[in-house]
Structure 1
Amino acid sequence: MPSEAPPFGSPPASVRADAARPAEETAHAARIRGARGRRRGSGQRLPRAERLAPYVLVAPAVLIIAGLRLYPLALGVNFSFTGDGDRNGQAVGWDNYATLFADPLFVESMRNVGLLVLLLPVAVAIPGILATFVYLRVPGHRVYRSVYFFPAVLSPVIIGAIFNLLLAFDGPANALLGAAGLGPVDWLGDPGVAIYAVVAVHIWATFGMALVVFLAGFATLDTSLIDAARVDGASLPLVIRHVIVPGLSRTIQFVVVTTMIGMLTSMFGLLYVMTGGGPEGSTYLPEYYIWFQQGQMSRPALASAASTVLFGVMLAVGLLQLAILRRSGRED
């Protein structure tokens, strides 16, 4: 019996078969994905060795951090609740922390930490601005890049000795002020000035590393955005504010945190050489206080308590800075 002819206007059989094939392939692919999903959900998609491979690769780094960082930190925190001297090894509760906050030197060191937090934007802005000029290839930018990084390779002891000569009461800095008709300043002997002088020297000595980090961040910028802003007639401050700063948000976060950590933990050499914590304890920072209690007063438990407080301050300040920077990045 002859087959019925297709209705008028319907496509030929070959066309209908071609049209049905993609639907069949789609259904087949869906069945495969469903099977894979069921295997994934049941934990049978990968062999056991492949599932354990990421943990095996991460394990050495985790063990190193736990053994050389977290375990000593836990020991230090535990040791801070023990006594010194006649009470060595005895549990004393919170006595060491009460002693800390009753000590004028430690209180002054914590005030100076607050000052460092206030001066942090300056410490970050200086290398950021200089890196912007180098990135924009101002005349002589290659020479400037070398000169800016040079202080980072010098020892803090050498830098402190150099600036002791420059900032002496009868040194070159006051000679320049005298030539300008200004009175001399006791840079390292005035309690209200000494901490600012030491922090300024530290910023000068360390901003070369932040400059390198900023230059690495500039390498990730989309230059077409900067070119478009220039074509639209945007001035340099507007380009920096609306193009460069948002594009470097991650780099800025990194520099802010590392700079703050450096200011809290890397100024001992300068303090020791330039002021020795003076005058009148005005340049004490927690790390210098820790060294003084441990090395000079033989009070390791009290020094451990100060170290624990310093760690808590660094953690809180770092998390707060990251939260502020992330919020400002979302607003931009």
Structure 2
Amino acid sequence: MTAPTLSSAGPAAAGPARTVRRPARAGSRAERLAPLVLLAPALLIIVGLRLWPLVLGVNFSFTGDGERDGTSVGFDNYVTLFTDPLFRTALRNVGLLVLLLPVAVAIPGLLATFLYLRVPGHRIYRGVYFFPAVLSPVIVGAIFNLLLAFDGPLNRLLGGLGIGPVDWLGDPGVAIFAVIGVHVWATFGMALVVFLAGFATLDSTLLDAARVDGASFAQTVRHVIVPSLTRTIQFVFVTTMIGMLTSMFGLLYVMTSGGPEGSTYLPEYYVWIQQGQMNQPALASAASTALFAIMLVVGLAQISILRRATGRED
């Protein structure tokens, strides 16, 4: 009696066990495939609209223009590029942007610190500071063309203070600083928002401890705020630099058109001139490739320097 009972119970026990394992294997396979399925559209967009055009552009930069259109010319376009005085001026201006980048990041960083500490009127200041970010670069350029004109309001104000007029947009040694200053004023609102988002993750007990220990404002910024916002600062540094290299075309076109004497050229504007006016798309592709390499090197260098400065290697 016992043996038949055991033999009949054996298959019955084995059946449910096999039924349970199959859904488990199917479920684990679906869990492994789910991230790939969700990432596939984004990967296709990045590859199809970013990486593939980049590869095509780099390949096109090794072909010729004009009579040599479509033929391989090796590095001739790059030799022409780096012997062009206008492109060398554009590279010098990129170096100037790198030198001024800490100022462009420090301004929204300090303003965000004041807003986070709730200085009187901080709600009004938040809206005022962000307002320029919603203006079109063309509108901003037109406004500052009037303000910075040789006989404009700013020079009249300086004249009232006993300071001679400055040719803000006509002096080759001053114009690039004027354009960069206007760009920083028009765009620092976005960086301000990013810093405020970073402050939302800051542990307020650290600030309380610094206040109890009698730390000054400068000491609090250096030893508490900066180490706590390392990731945010890295992000703002990189995005601000990219914005300076790729988003100043509107201002340059409206305010100086690359002048005076080509002193305000940047690689982005140089690319447009070669492509749109000189009809040299291959040379423009070489300039675009050089601009991409510059942004990559500068971005990686900034991240490395910031990691070392804050003592973080992750």
Matched residues in 2 for 1:146 and 1:48: separation? 50
Among 68, 76, 87, the residue aligned to 1:95:
76
CA deviations on 1:233-280 (whole Å, 9 max, x unpaired) are: 111111111111111111000000000000000000000000000000
Matched residues in 1 for 2:213 and 2:71: separation? 71
What is the match of residue 201 of structure 1? 182
Matched residues in 2 for 1:323 and 1:331: separation? 10
What is the match of residue 61 of structure 2? 80
Matched residues in 2 for 1:97 and 1:224: separation? 55
CA deviations on 1:273-309 (whole Å, 9 max, x unpaired) are: 0000000000000000000000000000000000000
Among 122, 137, 149, the residue aligned to 2:130:
149
What is the match of residue 283 of structure 1? 264
> 1:109-188 maps to which residues of 2 (within 5 A)?
109-188=90-169
> 1:29-40 maps to which residues of 2 (within 5 A)?
none
Offset of residue 52 of structure 1: 2.1
Matched residues in 1 for 2:205 and 2:28: separation? 46
Matched residues in 2 for 1:260 and 1:242: separation? 25
Aligned-residue Cα RMSD (Å) equals 1.3
CA deviations on 1:120-141 (whole Å, 9 max, x unpaired) are: 0000000000000011011111
CA deviations on 1:98-151 (whole Å, 9 max, x unpaired) are: 000111000100010000000000000000000000110111111110000000
Matched residues in 1 for 2:73 and 2:28: separation? 53
What is the match of residue 210 of structure 1? 191
What is the match of residue 41 of structure 1? none
Matched residues in 1 for 2:170 and 2:135: separation? 25
Q: Which amino acid aligns with 1:51?
A: R
Matched residues in 1 for 2:183 and 2:241: separation? 12
Alignment of 1:262 onto 2:243: yes
Alignment of 1:315 onto 2:261: no
Matched residues in 2 for 1:213 and 1:252: separation? 9
Offset of residue 45 of structure 1: 11
Q: Which amino acid aligns with 1:307?
A: S
Q: Which amino acid aligns with 2:296?
A: L
Q: Which amino acid aligns with 1:131?
A: A
Offset of residue 51 of structure 1: 2.1
Offset of residue 60 of structure 1: 1.3
- TM-score where L is the length of structure 1: 0.85
What is the match of residue 35 of structure 1? none
CA deviations on 1:20-49 (whole Å, 9 max, x unpaired) are: xxxxxxxxxxxxxxxxxxxxxxxx897333
What is the match of residue 226 of structure 1? 207
Secondary structure at the counterpart of residue 269 of structure 1? helix
Secondary structure at the counterpart of residue 185 of structure 1? coil
Matched residues in 2 for 1:48 and 1:233: separation? 57
Gaps of 5+ in 1: 1-43
Matched residues in 2 for 1:196 and 1:116: separation? 9
Secondary structure at the counterpart of residue 201 of structure 2? coil
Among 33, 37, 51, the residue aligned to 1:52:
33
Offset of residue 232 of structure 1: 1.3
Task: Determine what percentage of the aligned residue pairs are the same residue.
Answer: 78
Q: Which amino acid aligns with 2:265?
A: Y
Which protein shows a greater Rg? 1
Matched residues in 2 for 1:308 and 1:96: separation? 11
Offset of residue 61 of structure 1: 1.0
Offset of residue 53 of structure 1: 2.0
Q: Report the CA distance shift for 1:331/1:50 in structure 2 as closer, same or farther (over 3 A).
A: closer
Matched residues in 1 for 2:30 and 2:154: separation? 67
Matched residues in 1 for 2:104 and 2:244: separation? 9
- TM-score where L is the length of structure 2: 0.90
What is the match of residue 66 of structure 1? 47
Matched residues in 1 for 2:74 and 2:299: separation? 28
Runs (4+) off by over 4 Å = none
Q: Which amino acid aligns with 2:41?
A: P
Matched residues in 2 for 1:78 and 1:242: separation? 48
Matched residues in 2 for 1:143 and 1:47: separation? 53
